[in-house]
Amino acid sequence: MQQFKELDPILHSQLRLAVVSLLIGLKEAEFTFIKEKTGATAGNLSVQIDKLVNEGYICIEKTYKGKRPLTICRITKKGIEQFDLYVKALQEYLHTNKKGK
């Protein structure tokens, strides 16, 4: 019997996975754009982004757009690699499930 790979607990959170998925395609995005696309509250999104930053999956740049604060999130090389591993692990789950039928 095949043993399943453990899914990355950082990416297995719905909101963190959504953030990384957005950044995989865009490479970078403003906090407000991510908030709008995910439907998350600012507070929850901020907490989840901090977790991704602490793990090295994304980096943030805090700057200003005119007089307004602006936070830009960027995917890192580690974030891309971890996302790829996560997707491959999920594919193994799905492939194994199909073989079992």
Q: What is the pLDDT of residues 22-48, one digit of tens each?
A: 999 998 999 999 999 999 999 999 999
Q: Is residue 44 part of a domain?
A: yes
Answer whether 79's CB lies under 8 Å from 58's CB.
yes
CATH number for the domain harbouring residue 27: 1.10.10.10
Tell me the Cα Rg of the chain: 16
Q: Is the pLDDT of residue 95 over 90?
A: no
Is 70 exceeded by the pLDDT of residue 100? no
By residue range, what is the domain housing residue 43? 14-100
Quote the number of domains for the chain.
1
Residue 35 domain flag: yes
Query: 4 lies in a domain?
Result: no
The confidence score (pLDDT) of residue 6 equals: 85
CA distances from 79 to 9, 24, 63, 96 (A): 13, 8, 22, 26
pLDDT tens sequence across 51-68: 999 999 999 999 999 999
Q: Does 89 map to a domain? A: yes
Q: Is residue 92 part of a domain?
A: yes
Q: Tokens standing for 51? A: 């977790």
Whole-number pLDDT of residue 98: 61
Q: What is the pLDDT of residues 2-26, one digit of tens each?
A: 567 788 999 999 999 999 999 999 9
> Is 9 contained in some domain?
no
**Virtual torsion, Cα 11, 78, 75, 40, nearest 10 deg:** 20
The pLDDT mean for the chain works out to: 91
Phi-psi region of 82 (alpha: psi -120 to 50; beta: other; left: phi over 0): alpha
Model-level pTM greater than 0.85?
Answer: yes
Quick check: is 8 in a domain? no
